[in-house]
Amino acid sequence: MAIAAVTTTKSSRRGLVVAIDGPAGAGKSTLSTRLAQALGYLYIDTGAMYRAVAYLVAEKGLDPRDETALEALCRDIRIDLMETGGGLKILAMGEDVTRQIRTPEISLLTPQVAASTAVRHAMLHLQRKLGESGGVVLEGRDIGTVVFPDAEVKFFLSATADERGRRRYEELLEKGYAADLKETIAAVKERDRADMERATSPLKQADDAIVVDSTRMTIDEVLELMQRQVKEREKRIDI
């Protein structure tokens, strides 16, 4: 059994499980963070958990295709998500890797690592444990289909690949990374392909998900739509 952990500075209140899925660059992290804050829920960044594993794979020089090596890594792995006033801090084996896991190199490596059965099993176990009491917003690529198929509210966020690539490009520039727009868009398309074609828990829209195409929407417009949907659901089940 893999060992992993999450440490937070606030506890979630009992409420709904809100699952937010979608491809890379759809705005899941930003919207999940703001939605959780608006609702008073706990935000769980599942994508960052996989990125942290990918970071460890890179640091240790492991082959992301070596399932035996990844399984061994997961036996002793520790991942902590710490809520702070400045946002969510990601620690891998005690090291703050919040910035390192957002590099283009880790972005390319993550889907290979995330395709591992051992890695997905370890993360699945932890994610379900974190969300079992409700009052959580989880974002990823298989939350509404695999991790929490019975989540009370499911969203599937998307946008065109070109738009998602442009957003990612601007994000990299803002953080001080060198980036090329065409290469970034191509990387987003490759990430889509890898996520949809992997054998274990591929990216897939849940049949009962609320689909939101944010290509021509602002963050505030999407947030308002999502918050309204959750509040309506809370009223129906008396949360």
Query: Per-residue pLDDT tens for 175-221?
Result: 888 899 999 999 999 988 888 888 777 888 999 999 999 999 999 99
**Structural domain includes residue 229:** yes
> Which pLDDT score, from 0 to 100, does residue 157 have?
94
Give residue for tokens 């309506």.
232
Q: How far apart are CA 232 and CA 237, in angstroms?
A: 9
pLDDT for 239 equals 64
Give 114's Cβ-side CA count (13 Å radius).
26
pLDDT of residue 118: 94
Residue 7 inside a domain? The answer is no
In a domain, 67, yes or no: yes
Residue 24 pLDDT? 85
Q: CA dist 121 to 124, 169, 223, Å?
A: 5, 31, 31
Q: Is the pLDDT of residue 114 over 60?
A: yes
Q: Is residue 3 part of a domain?
A: no
1 inside domain: no
Separation CA 229–CA 155 (nearest Å)? 10
Give the C-alpha separation, 40 to 23, whole Å: 25
Percent of the chain whose predicted confidence (pLDDT) is above 70: 94
- In Å, how far are 22, 47, 127, 224 from 130, measured between CA atoms? 20, 15, 5, 26
pLDDT value for 97: 97
Task: Find how far residue 154's CA is from the centre of its chain.
Answer: 14
- In DSSP terms, 129 is beta-bridged to none
CA quadruple 89, 39, 21, 221: dihedral positive or negative?
negative
Strand order from edge to edge, sheet including 17-21: 42-45, 136-140, 17-21, 153-158, 210-213
How far is it, in rounded angstroms, from Cα 37 to Cα 62? 37
Q: Is residue 8 part of a domain?
A: no
DSSP character string of 15-61: --EEEEE--TTSSHHHHHHHHHHHHTPEEEEHHHHHHHHHHHHHHHT
The residue segments making up the domain with residue 86 are 17-234
pLDDT of 1 > 50? The answer is no
Choose among 140, 52, 34: nearest CA to 90.
52
The two structure tokens encoding residue 114: 């995330």
CA distances from 145 to 16, 22, 150 (A): 16, 11, 8
Tokens 């002793």 belong to residue: 76
pLDDT digits (tens, 9 = 90+) for 159-176: 999 999 999 899 889 988
Side-chain-side CA neighbours of 157 within 13 Å: the count stands at 32
Residue 44 domain flag: yes
Question: Which of the residue ranges 36-40, 41-45, 52-56, 147-151 would you say has the lowest mean pLDDT?
Answer: 41-45
Average predicted confidence (pLDDT) for the chain: 89
In tens, the pLDDT along 46-96 reads 889 999 999 999 999 999 999 999 999 999 888 888 877 777 889 999 999
Q: Is residue 9 part of a domain?
A: no
Instruction: Provide the pLDDT for residue 7.
Output: 47
Asked whether the predicted pLDDT for residue 238 surpasses 80, the reply is no
Domain count, the chain: 1
The CATH number assigned to the domain holding 106 equals: 3.40.50.300
Rounded to whole angstroms, the Cα distance separating 113 from 149 reads: 23
Q: With 50 as the cut, is the pLDDT of residue 132 above it?
A: yes
Contact 231, 153 (CB under 8 A): no
